[in-house]
Structure 1
């Protein structure tokens, strides 16, 4: 049975080759006869050249159509095989293709560079390496509001950049506007706390605030953006009934966000008591606090 199958396949192939040879031979003869006829009977050189070119192109077109008709079944089988192989390849390498596409999107959009602090989904940290397939970050946390490294390294597949937004916390690089929140109850003396936090922020940021202002002006000019205000601010937010949150925004060097935040908190909270109905006769005893400087 296998021998008859092989024989039938070889006979079919031989038949197709013979028909193809006959077609090619027939067209070659037609080409020679038509060329001889045109050279003998057309006296204008320009017209003769035009007829020779047109006859040649017509015969080539007939040859291509004839080959397609002769080999149609084999071409259909070959096309189906190629499509099946392509589909299998795409399915097998789907994740790699997504990673490469994500790398192209990331590069084209210039969403971040080496050294920037980014957040993608639940992953947050400083970018230390990136290639065609993955991006490596040093984790910062815990959570989304702290700014100290945890010592853990995270490798993010670039495919994630296709479906998730990227938050770049180092958009302005050297200096940033850092924001942190301090919650109070509505009955607490949050007005005094607002005043104390603003005074403390001005003291801690006063030595370099003019430098930050010049830097932000340069960045805004280069990127065509409106110059942001860099002065420390303390604004009020009421997230729920009975609660008041103070939103403190300060300018700081990108590597000292946690240090400045902890310094302001220690300065205000260790020397004041903002609970309702309490009076502070003397500041509470200060406790040793280790400065938390980002590595």
Structure 2
């Protein structure tokens, strides 16, 4: 693997670490299977790209993308909490609706950002090669986000949200508004995913209405893979595991596609993804089995 390919995998891994954070909140904290991710990712890209092309400051455009993603997640949670629609079905309905919403926002299937100012401009002025500046920029963003998430999840509201996801009945008995916590958590989750979409579009130079296909699988692979490598004994370790899992996932993809002896091509990406997710799921059980056998032998 070349240096540029390696740094490119790091860059993409850092972007999708934001998706992993969102998936972590919905799946692990709230126990809410959410497919809205496949729609909120391109939503963030569409909103930011459209505003940037219209002359809006890229930072404000990215903030608008986060808010748009938060609204999408809130709608999914609202349908589940207020309308009693099954969480999985509610997320599918929102995801399907967002396809049309994204087309409405852009007015066309894709929007190019070539030649436009983006949030990467301050880092490009450092004089470093582009394959160093983008991982540096996204590393700073991820560091800020993981710090804010840790502070939030260890705060009183964050503890209430974690309690609502762990045991709704017990949380209600303690006076926690579980419905409100679910809606807040889903808004934060999809806001993070939309942020990832906005960053990805500005990094790649374009936003496309189909760029969200399979994002939920990548997020799950990152979360599960991170937990397999770095057991989430604390909130901080769980968040760091999301980052590590996302980067390792992208490096594994890059290594597999660059391994000529395997004969894999770009169209095999979904096959590689499925294999990696299956491996990440099986790995913890396999490790426990090995430890039990070694203990029995003693």
Give the TM-score category using the shorter length. Answer: under 0.3
Higher helix share: 2
Which has the higher relative contact order, 1 or 2, with Cα contacts under 8 A spaced 6 or more apart?
2
TM-score by length of 2: 0.18
TM-score by length of 1: 0.18
Higher strand share: 1
